[in-house]
Amino acid sequence: MEALETLTDEELVALYAQDVNEAFDLLLSRHKNKVFSYIYLAVKDRDLANDLFQETFVKAITTIKQGRYTEKGKFIAWIMRISHNLIIDCFRRDKSENTISNEDSDVDLFNDCKLYDDSIEYDMVRDQVFADIVKLVEHLPENQKEVLKMRFFEDLSFKEIADITGVSINTALGRMRYALLNIRRMAEENKISLEY
C-alpha cells in the first residue's frame, strides 16, 4: 500500500481497472472528505448525502470496471462531476427538499469573523447577517447559487468549479459576479444590511 501512495490518481485508476482493489481504496481515502462535503453542503441532509456519496463511488467503480473511464483530466474533477449530476437528479426528483436551513449551518459565508472581537452583540449581528445572506442565496438562479456555494462553502478554485460544472473559468467567474451583484441588489430592495 505504501508504494501505491506515491502514484497519481490516474495511475491508481489504471491499477484498479486491472483488479488491484487497494488502488481504489486509496482513491477513496484521498477524496472522500471533499466529495462528501460537497454533497452535504448541497443537500443539507446527512442520510441523503451518505446515499449520494455511495452512489457516486458505485458509479465510478462501475465505469472503471467496464473500461469506460476515459477522462483525460483529473480524477477528482470527474468524481465531483458524477456527484454533481446525482445531486441535480435528486433535486429534480424532489424539489421540495431543495432548501438550505441556516440553523444547520456553522459556516460563515465570508470567513472573516476572526477579524472582529467576539462580543455578544457582534455575534448576534453576525448570525443575523449570515441568516439573511443564506436566505438571499436561496433566491439566486440555480447556476449562480451553485458557483457561490462551491466557492465559499467548499473553498474550490474557479478552475475546479469550471471542471465540475462543465463550463469555462470565465463563465464560472461571471456566475459568481452576478450572484454577488444579485445578493447586493436583493439586500438593498429588502433593506437588509450586509455589514456587521
What's 72's domain CATH number?
1.10.1740.10
- The pLDDT, as a whole number, for residue 179 is 86
Indicate if 136 and 44 belong to the same structural domain. Answer: no
What are the φ/ψ torsions at residue 72 (nearest 5 degrees)?
-90, -20
Number of domains in the chain: 2
The contacts of residue 145 (CB under 8 Å, 6+ apart) are 137, 138, 179
Question: What pTM was estimated for this model as a whole?
Answer: 0.52
Task: Enter the C-alpha cell of residue 163.
Answer: 471542471
Question: How far is it, in rounded angstroms, from Cα 146 to Cα 162?
Answer: 11
Indicate if 190 and 129 belong to the same structural domain. Answer: yes
Indicate if 9 and 88 belong to the same structural domain. Answer: yes
CATH number at residue 114: 1.10.10.10
**Which one is predicted more confidently, 111 or 45?**
45
State the greatest distance between any 2 C-alpha atoms of the chain, in Å, as a whole number.
60
Question: How far is it, in rounded angstroms, from Cα 95 to Cα 106?
Answer: 24
- Percent of the chain past pLDDT 90, that is, above it, reads 7
Indicate if 113 and 128 belong to the same structural domain. Answer: yes
Question: How far is it, in rounded angstroms, from Cα 45 to Cα 40?
Answer: 6
In which domain, by residue range, is 127 found?
A: 100-196
Indicate if 76 and 139 belong to the same structural domain. Answer: no
The chain-wide mean pLDDT, for the chain, equals 78
Q: Residue 67 carries which side chain, given as an amino acid letter?
A: G
The pLDDT tens digits for 120-134 are: 555 566 666 667 777
Task: Select from 67, 98, 129 the last residue of a domain.
Answer: 98
